[in-house]
Amino acid sequence: MPGYMVMNCVFHDIERFVSEYAPKAAESLAANGGKVVFHSIGAKTVEGDFGSGGSFVMIEFPTLADAEAAWFSDEYQELKRLREGLADFHVLLVEGEFAPASMN
């Protein structure tokens, strides 16, 4: 069953985030089997405390174990330091499958 890394972030310096962190992080996660299946900037919070104007990203991995390995890898832990002060994050690692159209 696929595993997913779901990230919500609220930017403090989007230009530096995009130029300094995002390309390296995407490369690292892809090298660990991740592929971006959804991303969006400018989310509007209607309930909870996620921060309006934030970004959502969903990255699919072959398994939850692969998502965990990518997140906790030494390489990615180093890359996370590049985003310090650039954005606030909420990150979930979940296992699941997309619902078939008949369930929607």
16 assigned to some structural domain: yes
Domain annotation covers residue 17: yes
Count of domains for the chain: 1
Identify the pLDDT of residue 27.
Answer: 92
- pLDDT, residue 63, reads 96
Cβ atoms of 39 and 58 closer than 8 Å = yes
Domain limits at 29?
1-39+71-90
CA distance 84 to 47: 26
pLDDT of residue 42: 80
Q: Please tell me the predicted confidence (pLDDT) of residue 54.
A: 79
Instruction: Specify if 77 maps to a domain.
Output: yes
In a domain, 103, yes or no: no
The pLDDT score that the predictor gives to residue 104 is 58
Block means of pLDDT (10 residues each) for the chain, 104 residues, are 93 90 92 92 78 84 96 94 91 88 63
Establish if 97 belongs to a structural domain. Answer: no
* Structure confidence at residue 92 (pLDDT): 95
